[in-house]
Amino acid sequence: MMEQHQQCFVRHTSCTANMRTALRSAFPVLDLPLQPIHQHVYEANLHNSNTCRNKFMELSEKVTKGGGENAIARHTQRNKKLLVKDRLRLLLDDEDFLELSHFAGLGLPYGDIPSAGCLTGVGKINGLWCVFIANDATVKGGTAYPITVKKQLRAQEVAIQNRLPCVYLIDSGGAFLPLQSEIFPDKNQGGRTFYNEAIMSAMKIPQVSVVCGSCTAGGAYIPTMAEETVMVHRIGTMFLGGPPLVKAATGEEVTPENLGGARLHAEVSGCVDHFAWEEKDAFECARNIISTLNFTLPEEEEDEEKMRRRKDEEKPLFSSEELLGLAPRSYTYSLDVKMVISRLTDGSRFQEFKACFGTTLITGFAKIHGHLVGIVANNGQLSYQSALKGSHFVQLCDQRDVPLLFLQNTAPSATLTLSSTQAEMNSNCLKAQGSMMSAVACASVPKITVVIGGCHGADSYAMCGRSFDPNFLFLWPNARVSLTAVGHIGHLLHSDNEQEEERKNTENDLNRMLEEESSAFFSSGRLWDDGVILPQDTRRVLRDCLNIIKQQNYQLSTEKLQSALLRI
């Protein structure tokens, strides 16, 4: 009875939610064109952005080649399998999906692993946003490197945080054996994928898998633990130990198909639920499975309503290309962040909050493609006043259920320590920043962070850095991620006069290290973020993220969420 009542309540609220229309708004316009006074800084930033864009293109090309020509030929001609991009084309409604961590796996101590050996992202299947995790078997047989495991776990986390169905396309030789000690034993390593699968099922997050290649050892648990699995004849195999292992153990010669092919698992073991003759059929089947999920998306809007929404989604007054000259090449090349905001929001409109107080942090409301967001943007060092203001605004958004967008450009720590004469103020500042961190950590609304410049020191935590669990975190290619910035380290090194030369050498070494390690591509290669995006694409990426985040409002069965969340 109680359950029935709850179901009625859920249905009723979701229906009324569909009928609701957003309150009309006409926020003030930020009319901030470029002025001659900005020219010098703008051009220096633009020059740097162009260099970063070239690097972005160069790395994108490298990633697109996957495991290289020979591996692609082996995959398509000898193994008769589709490339991962073609598989995604068959699975998703269109090519307009949000790829996550495109550069993950590049520049690691154990080499370049394009796409970390698997593509992840969020795309639409029959109109529903779903996370996908798809092995690229052209990269060392789709084996899992430590970075592959990290990427898979992050994609599952995205599914959990945003309550998105998750589809696994499996074509993997299991653990990359030479690095087994970094893949197998620890908490957030291989086994965690399976643990998450169970918890996700308990949370009613649907999981579907398609076995379209090898699925050996631990990897075989992904399809067996998913709620529904499709397997492709002759292409998919699934076993704990392959034919060579069987021969070594028993002397018996067995074909992969007889040991763990699609027919065996569909007819005998029951490990898979759907048999597909070809890959094309398997992806069609996966799309049909998604159609059985209990979501009700909002009805197609009436024409008039559509037109009104489009009007709400006015374009910014200024070209997004101008963001390239506003993306700071270093902290000292930052222009007023309101110029960035005015190139991201609908109609360049912005309802500023506490405009006269704590002006080194800009806070206020705006719409992005019709979605209301609360923006928190650095405009200098996070002072006592600005941190207080930040806490206040974050709590306001939490109370009103408005998603938060952080535009992060935090100061290198040495810049902060320069104000040593104001010891009392510094202590107050600490307290206020701590409060802002608490406000951000405890806010239950979705959060998106875009690092538009620096991600330095403790301020980056208050601005919802990676450890503060934003739903999505992206970097502009000019972004710098390090405790302190290049050139600021000297203030932090102590020496007396005799050791001056040694100090200088240490400083030079550390600066060289910072230069390399703080680059956005270094960060993204290690999966400290969800990807590097070009500044001019930011509005589109934010639109996708906000649409994705909103989808959970349309899922009908939401019970058990809280208790399952406690186990993550």
Least Å distance, CB 79 to ligand COA, is: 5
Selected range binding ligand COA among 30-38, 175-183, 482-490, 548-556, rule: CB under 6 A: 175-183
Q: Which among 29, 30, 11, 15 is positioned nearest to 326, based on CA atoms?
A: 30
Residue type, 540: R
Q: How far apart are CA 462 and CA 440, in angstroms?
A: 7
Compute the CA torsion angle 373, 379, 385, 389 (nearest 10 deg).
0
Binding mask 134-173 for ligand COA (x = CB under 6 A): ------xx-x-----------------------------x
DSSP E strands in 294-446: the ranges are: 351-353, 361-368, 371-378, 404-408
Two structure tokens written together for 398: 């939490």
Q: How far apart are CA 487 and CA 156, in angstroms?
A: 38
CB atoms within 10 A of CB 256: 16
Closest residue (Cβ) to ligand COA?
Answer: 173
Binding mask 232-271 for ligand COA (x = CB under 6 A): ----------x-----------------------------
Residues 6 or more apart from 223 whose CB is under 8 A from it?
A: 168, 170, 209, 211, 215, 229, 231, 238, 271, 272
Among 52, 133, 217, 259, the residue binding ligand COA under the rule CB under 6 A is 217
Q: How far apart are CA 202 and CA 145, in angstroms?
A: 28
Question: Which sign, positive or negative, has the C-alpha torsion 174, 176, 178, 182?
Answer: negative
Least Å distance, CB 224 to ligand COA, is: 16
Task: Kindly state whether residue 117 participates in binding ligand COA, applying the rule CB under 6 A.
Answer: no
Least Å distance, CB 292 to ligand COA, is: 32
Selected range binding ligand COA among 17-25, 54-62, 214-222, 369-377, rule: CB under 6 A: 214-222
Selected range binding ligand COA among 38-46, 156-164, 211-219, 278-286, rule: CB under 6 A: 211-219
SS3 484: coil
Beta carbon nearer to ligand COA, 133 or 235: 235
Among 176, 239, 333, 472, the residue binding ligand COA under the rule CB under 6 A is 176
Among 49, 135, 152, 216, the residue binding ligand COA under the rule CB under 6 A is 216
DSSP E strands in 414-532: the ranges are: 447-451, 454-456, 472-475, 480-482
Least Å distance, CB 143 to ligand COA, is: 4
Selected range binding ligand COA among 2-10, 119-127, 209-217, 411-419, rule: CB under 6 A: 209-217
Binding mask 66-105 for ligand COA (x = CB under 6 A): --------x----x--------------------------
Q: Residue length, the chain?
A: 568
Least Å distance, CB 414 to ligand COA, is: 44
Least Å distance, CB 141 to ligand COA, is: 3
Binding mask 177-196 for ligand COA (x = CB under 6 A): x-------------------
CA distances from 375 to 224, 326, 365, 473 (A): 43, 17, 6, 14
Burial (CB < 10 A; 0-12, 13-18, 19+), residue 421, is exposed
Count interface residues toward ligand COA (CB under 6 A). 14
Least Å distance, CB 392 to ligand COA, is: 52
Task: Kindly state whether residue 535 participates in binding ligand COA, applying the rule CB under 6 A.
Answer: no
Beta carbon nearer to ligand COA, 140 or 456: 140
Task: Kindly state whether residue 123 participates in binding ligand COA, applying the rule CB under 6 A.
Answer: no
CB atoms within 10 A of CB 69: 10
Beta carbon nearer to ligand COA, 140 or 354: 140
Beta carbon nearer to ligand COA, 17 or 177: 177
DSSP secondary structure letter of residue 251: -
Instruction: Print burial letters for 23-37: b (CB count within 10 Å at least 16), e (below 16).
Output: eeeebeebebeeeee
Pairing mode, if any, of strands 351-353 and 237-239?
unpaired
Which residues of this protein are in contact with ligand COA, per CB under 6 A? 74, 79, 140-141, 143, 173-177, 214, 216-217, 242
